[in-house]
Amino acid sequence: MASHRRPKQPSRARVTVLTTAAAAAVALSAQAANAAPSEKPSKDEVKAKVDKLYEQAEQATEKYNGAKEKQEKLQKEISTIQDNVARGQEELNKLRDGLGSMAAGQYRSGGIDPSVQLFLSSDPDDYLDKASTLDQLSSQQVDALKKIQDKQRELAQERAEATEKLKDLATTRTELGKKKKEVQGKLAEAQKLLNSLTAKEKAELTAEQARATRASERTVLSGSPGSAGSSASGRAAAAFSAAQSRIGSPYVYGATGPSSFDCSGLTSWAYAQAGVGIPRTSESQSTIGTRIYSMGDLRVGDLVFFFNDLHHVGLYAGNGQVLHAPRTGTVVRYESMGTIGGPFMFGVRV
């Protein structure tokens, strides 16, 4: 007959541990249930974060512009070198053909000229060094050999230069791709934040921007006596007029007009319409012309730079206002220099 044993009772210590764990689980559940849901950021908080992301995107945009400009410059230089190499090779071939004809004529007349070895030598350059000292060669042949030697060395140097520039171009293209991704990432993050706003909040932000733009326009047009800055003249006036004609055009990073612009794209395009070529990026534009540190000395059409790293530039519009392409989501417009988001550093008179 089978024996029936009583099940083993859990020890008092084990009961205590299980009871404690259960109590902790209940407490955590209660805390989670009673915890306040994460608060949605306010419209102003979203705007502040978005403005910061746009500033970072513009910084990356100017680096992108610089890499793109360098890429275009390298491509032109490489193309020029390759054209020079092609022409040089043609000249070298003609020199060789001429020397070959000369050698062949001598061979037919019964003499074997050492220059024939040029075409059989495994090291033509070394042969040329030796052959040019041989007494058997005529002065005409020596001259022809030296020209071939000089042209070979010239072509070798140009090919080496092209190789180095091609390496630099590959590095620049990589940098360009990274900056493009960085800009796109910042813009996508900013758009995600904006999408979190209600339709009413979005409308309020748009209305605030519109009011600020209208206020700046009135300030520019008022031309109140004693206001900072004097009228533009000459090419600055022509550049400013060109920029005014693009008011309302959208900001697009990397764009240089005529239908869309980024900040330095607008200023370089505007001065180009006045017949003046200036660099592409804001940092490079800050190195030209005459610097003006006092706002009171600025004139309409002067370039004005903002932020410590000079990543934003516009055209001075008078009365403490700037005409510029602010950032993604905006258009070319007037704005008070005090609301740019970064300090005014200096102006440049082109």
pLDDT at 132 over 60: no
CATH number at residue 338: 3.90.1720.10
Higher pLDDT, 192 or 17: 192
Residue whose C-alpha is closest to residue 206's, from 43, 337, 342: 43
Q: Domain range spanning residue 300?
A: 227-349
pLDDT for res 33: 45
pLDDT at 201 over 60: yes
pLDDT for res 257: 93
- The answer on 329 and 258 residing in a single domain is yes
Measured CA to CA, the distance from residue 315 to residue 266 in angstroms comes to: 9
The tally of domains found in the chain comes to 2
Measured CA to CA, the distance from residue 108 to residue 92 in angstroms comes to: 24
Per-residue pLDDT band at 302 (split at 50, 70, 90): very high
Measured CA to CA, the distance from residue 128 to residue 106 in angstroms comes to: 19
Q: Is residue 77 part of a domain?
A: yes
Q: Is residue 147 part of a domain?
A: yes
Give Cβ neighbours of residue 322 (< 8 Å, ≥ 6 apart). 304, 314, 315, 316, 334, 335, 336, 337, 340
pLDDT at 67 over 80: yes
Give Cβ neighbours of residue 34 (< 8 Å, ≥ 6 apart). none
pLDDT at 265 over 60: yes
Q: If you average pLDDT over residues 312-336, what whole number do you get?
A: 94
pLDDT at 13 over 70: no
pLDDT for res 22: 45
How does pLDDT run across 74-86, given as a tens digit for each residue?
899 899 888 888 8
Backbone conformation region of residue 232, classed left if phi is above 0, alpha if psi is from -120 to 50, else beta: beta
Per-residue pLDDT band at 295 (split at 50, 70, 90): very high
Higher pLDDT, 305 or 215: 305
Q: Is residue 208 part of a domain?
A: no
Averaged pLDDT of the chain:
80
- The answer on 231 and 187 residing in a single domain is no
Neighbours of 103 (CB within 10 A): 21
pLDDT for res 27: 46
Considering the entire predicted model, what is its pTM?
A: 0.65
- Residues annotated catalytic, as ranges: 263, 312, 324
Q: If you average pLDDT over residues 39-61, what whole number do you get?
A: 87
